[in-house]
Amino acid sequence: MLHTPPGFVPAPVTLAPPAGDALVFAFAGAMLVVAGNEEAPVVPTLAQALAAGIDGPRHHLGRLAGTDCVAVTLGDTAPAPAGYRLAGLRSLFGTMPEPMLAVAARAFQVVDWDRSHAFCGRCGARTRERPGERAKECPACGLVAYPRVSPAMMVLVIRDGELLLARANRFRNMMYSALAGFVEPGEAIEDCVHREVREEVGIEIDRLEYFASQSWAFPHSLMIAYTAHYAAGALRPDGTEIADARWFLPDALPELPSPMSIARRLIDDTAARLRDGSHAQRAAASPAIE
Ligand SMILES: [Zn+2]
């Protein structure tokens, strides 16, 4: 789960320069510069990074357990200096401590924004940092660009003690997951849930219930997860995005997404509640959130 880790105090702007013991999250493209072996990757301190020539535009992120954390934008194809290697964020799940990984994911989103907003999207002039906040402004036309976060929904639909799981065409294997999709301009998140379910599998749902949300740094999503109940219609996978969709009993689930995903937590949690019967009681006891 990626979210603000315990002990992390975000601070996008600081007047004080980072201390030598600041942690440096430097990205070359989508790859983080780390030292240490495969089992115990570590990020360098600022003093270590500078000694190794790891430097570029810096963005203060905040403090983790009292230590400054800094994102650094390197060239997309910058090589790792001697003693360091480049690691994709996904490869660090399970080996890098979760608070450190969460700050790395945050750093990646800031770096990604930094390098994709070097020029104004409206007039093409070179942008500059806007003082006092995490923003870039265009000196020619005044356009201000903030880091982008794209909201998306995920929903696990329940019917008669069964779960609706779908296999998307983009999945590499026979994995099934909850339905998901990005919010469109003008939509509330609830509108998006209903529309995506209708478009992807052709059914109507009700009794939406919020589950949890997760930041997902690939590259800048906020996944907002719900459960819902089947209301009407026949399952009809759209055939383009969704290859197959079926109802599964909680004790006969197919191949599922990685335990690090919010999808898996949503499925595991809901399946457990269906098994012990608490979901029906809870749903009956609480009013629908719509
Ligand atoms: Zn401009």
- 23 φψ region: left (φ > 0), alpha (ψ -120 to 50), beta (else): beta
Does 131 fall in a domain?
A: no
Angle (CA) 78-37-9 rounded to 5° is 75
Same domain membership, residue 183 and residue 82? no
Domain boundary among 90, 116, 142: 116
pLDDT at 14: 72
CATH of the domain at 32: 3.90.79
Does 3 fall in a domain?
A: no
**Cα separation values, 19 from 56, 63, 118, 133, Å:** 16, 11, 27, 21
Same domain membership, residue 281 and residue 167? yes
Q: Is 234 exposed, middle or buried (0-12, 13-18, 19+ CB in 10 A)?
A: exposed
CATH of the domain at 181: 3.90.79.10
pLDDT at 120: 98
Does 215 fall in a domain?
A: yes
Separation of CA 119 and ligand 1 centre (Å): 8
Report which of 65, 59, 46 is spatially closest to residue 5, judged by C-alpha positions: 65
Separation of CA 106 and ligand 1 centre (Å): 27
Does 1 fall in a domain?
A: no
Does 190 fall in a domain?
A: yes
Separation of CA 188 and ligand 1 centre (Å): 30
Domain count of the fold of the chain: 2
Same domain membership, residue 110 and residue 225? no
Does 227 fall in a domain?
A: yes
Residues near ion ligand 1 (CB < 5 Å) are 120, 122-123, 125, 138, 140-141, 143
One DSSP character per residue, 142-162 reads --EEPPP-EEEEEEEEEETTE
Same domain membership, residue 255 and residue 206? yes
145, 220 in Cβ contact below 8 A? no
Mean pLDDT per 10-residue interval, the chain, length 290 residues: 83 80 96 94 97 94 94 94 94 92 95 95 96 94 95 97 94 91 96 97 97 88 97 94 95 92 96 82 44
pTM of the model: 0.85
Q: Could you give the CA distance from residue 96 to residue 105 in angstroms, rounded to a whole number? A: 12
Separation of CA 147 and ligand 1 centre (Å): 17
**Strand 221-232 versus strand 150-159 pairing type:** parallel
Say whether the peptide bond before residue 219 is cis (omega within 30 degrees of 0): yes
Same domain membership, residue 278 and residue 157? yes
Same domain membership, residue 189 and residue 78? no
Report which of 275, 255, 272, 260 is spatially closest to residue 177, judged by C-alpha positions: 255
**Cα separation values, 31 from 28, 54, 211, Å:** 5, 13, 31
Separation of CA 121 and ligand 1 centre (Å): 7
Same domain membership, residue 198 and residue 90? no
Same domain membership, residue 158 and residue 110? no
Does 207 fall in a domain?
A: yes
Same domain membership, residue 179 and residue 107? no
Does 137 fall in a domain?
A: no
Name the residue type at position 169: N
Same domain membership, residue 16 and residue 110? yes
Separation of CA 117 and ligand 1 centre (Å): 11
Same domain membership, residue 280 and residue 179? yes
Same domain membership, residue 179 and residue 101? no
End-to-end, the C-alpha distance of the chain in Å comes to 26
Separation of CA 118 and ligand 1 centre (Å): 11
Range of the domain at 80: 8-116
